[in-house]
Amino acid sequence: MSLDHLLQRADVWRGGRLTAAASAVPSGYSELDTLLPGGGWPQGALTEILMPRQGIGALRLLMPALAQLSHDDRWICWVAPPHIPYAPALVSAGVDLSRVLLVHPGARQDGLWAVEQSLRSGNCSAVLAWPTLDDAGVMRRLQLAAEAGDALGFLFRAERFAKRPSPAALRIQLDTHTDGNLSVSILKRRGGWAAGPVHLDTSLQYGALALHSRATTAAGCFQPRQQ
C-alpha cells in the first residue's frame, strides 16, 4: 500500500489537521450565554462589539473566554490595540500570556491585512481588532477569513456603526447600566431576533477585588483619606 493510499483512508488521522470544533465558546456569563446561539461566542465567525465610549468594560467581558482559549495551543492575537494590553491585568484575569500575540502594523491597510491573515491562518483561537473603517466588503472578507481559520474574531467598534449593516455573525451593543454593571444588548445573532439587554457584573470575574467598591460618600470622596 502506498503512502498516498494510506493517507486517503478515513481512519487515518493526520496531525496538523483541525478537528471539528465546538460552534461556540462560553462567554463565562450565564445570563449572556443563554441568549447566544450555541451558548457562547460564535466560533469561526466575527463578533462585533459596539460601544459608546471606552472604559466601560468591553475587554473584561471577553476575559473569561480569552482565559479559556489561552489554554488552547493557538494564539490570541491583538492587532493594533489602542493601548498597551497590560500584562499584570491579563494574568489576573487568568489569561496565559504565552499565548498572547501582539501585532503592531505601521499603516491602517497593514492592520486590516494582519487581521485577515490572523483570522485565516488557523494559528489563532481569537483575534481582537479595533477597525475604524466602515467598509462592508472588508467586513465580509474578515467574516470569511474567520470561517476559514476557525477563529473567534472580535471587532471593537464605535456605537455609531450600529445602524450599518454588517456580515458579522453576532453584534452586541454595550452600555453602562445605572447600577454600574455592564449592559449588553444583542443587535444580531444567528437564528434569533435581537435580544437583551442583560446586565452583567463583569467585576466579579476578577475574584478577590471588586471594581465597583464605590465609596458611600460619593460626593466628596476624591479627597483621599490619609492612611
Which residues bind to other proteins, rule: CB under 8 A? 2-5, 7, 14-17, 52-60, 63, 75, 77, 81-93, 96-106, 110, 113-114, 117-118, 121-124, 176, 180, 206, 208-209, 211, 213-215, 218, 221-222, 224-225, 227
Q: Which is nearer to other proteins, 14 or 163 (CB)?
A: 14
Cα separation, 45 vs 124, in Å, equals 13
Q: Which is nearer to other proteins, 34 or 132 (CB)?
A: 132
Least distance in angstroms from the C-beta of 208 to other proteins: 7
Least distance in angstroms from the C-beta of 190 to other proteins: 26
Least distance in angstroms from the C-beta of 41 to other proteins: 17
Q: Which set of grid coordinates corresponds to residue 10?
A: 478515513
Q: Which is nearer to other proteins, 27 or 189 (CB)?
A: 27
> Treating both helix axes as pointing N-terminal to C-terminal, what angle do 136-149 and 108-121 enclose, rounded to 10 degrees?
30
Least distance in angstroms from the C-beta of 174 to other proteins: 11
Cα separation, 43 vs 152, in Å, equals 5
Q: Which set of grid coordinates corresponds to residue 19?
A: 478537528
Cα separation, 175 vs 52, in Å, equals 7
Q: Which is nearer to other proteins, 193 or 216 (CB)?
A: 216
DSSP 216: S
Q: For residue 224, is the peptide bond before it cis, meaning its omega torsion is within 30 degrees of 0?
A: no
What's the N-to-C CA distance of the chain in angstroms?
A: 79
CA-nearest of 146, 137, 138 to 170 is 146
| Contact in structure between 46 and 153 (CB atoms under 8 Å) | yes
Least distance in angstroms from the C-beta of 227 to other proteins: 7
3-state secondary structure (DSSP) of residue 28: coil
Residue type, 21: A
Q: Which is nearer to other proteins, 137 or 227 (CB)?
A: 227
Least distance in angstroms from the C-beta of 140 to other proteins: 21
| Contact in structure between 150 and 125 (CB atoms under 8 Å) | no
Q: Which is nearer to other proteins, 21 or 136 (CB)?
A: 21
